[in-house]
Amino acid sequence: MTILGVDYAWNHPAPQDIFNAGYRFVIRYLSLDPTKNLTIQEAQALHSAGLAILLYWENGTLDTLGGATVGASQSSTANHQADALSYPTQCPIFYAVDFNASGTQFVPIAQYFNAVGGRGKGCYGSWLTV
């Protein structure tokens, strides 16, 4: 059985339209840009339409190259934002490696993910990165 989901950042389709199009979950953002982030009102509307929510942290495309210091700081912010949304603590937050990483870039990326704390974590990225 395939369950379809959709992600979006700044454009906010109507939750019922998402559900009517056959999607059953959305992936929404956490970041330092409040215009991109999921709000509590939107989360409530999505749940009311029958949609599940996954959270995805992406601030800057190359942030994971900042290693452990950036990973610890960003996961603290992501967890704080998720808590404000009443996001279940047993659900992971996915962190973006939204570029084609290669070679020595994997070292700071691994350090970033090793420093991510709080909830479980997932990685959004290329097959090689994940």
Answer yes or no: is 112 within a domain: yes
The kind and range of the H/E element at 70 are: helix 67-84
pLDDT digits (tens, 9 = 90+) for 91-116: 999 999 999 999 999 999 999 999 99
Instruction: Give CA separation, 21 vs 11, 15, 57, in Å.
Output: 16, 10, 25
Instruction: Write out the residue range of the structural domain in which residue 60 sits.
Output: 4-124
Q: What is the CATH number of the domain that holds 98?
A: 3.20.20.80
In this prediction, residue 52 carries a pLDDT of 97
129 part of a folded domain:
no
Asked whether the whole model's pTM tops 0.75, one would answer yes
- How many domains in the chain? 1
17 falls within a domain = yes
pLDDT mean over 61-82: 97
Torsion sign, CA atoms 12, 8, 84, 24: positive
Q: Is residue 28 part of a domain?
A: yes
Work out the percent of the chain whose per-residue pLDDT is above 70. Answer: 100
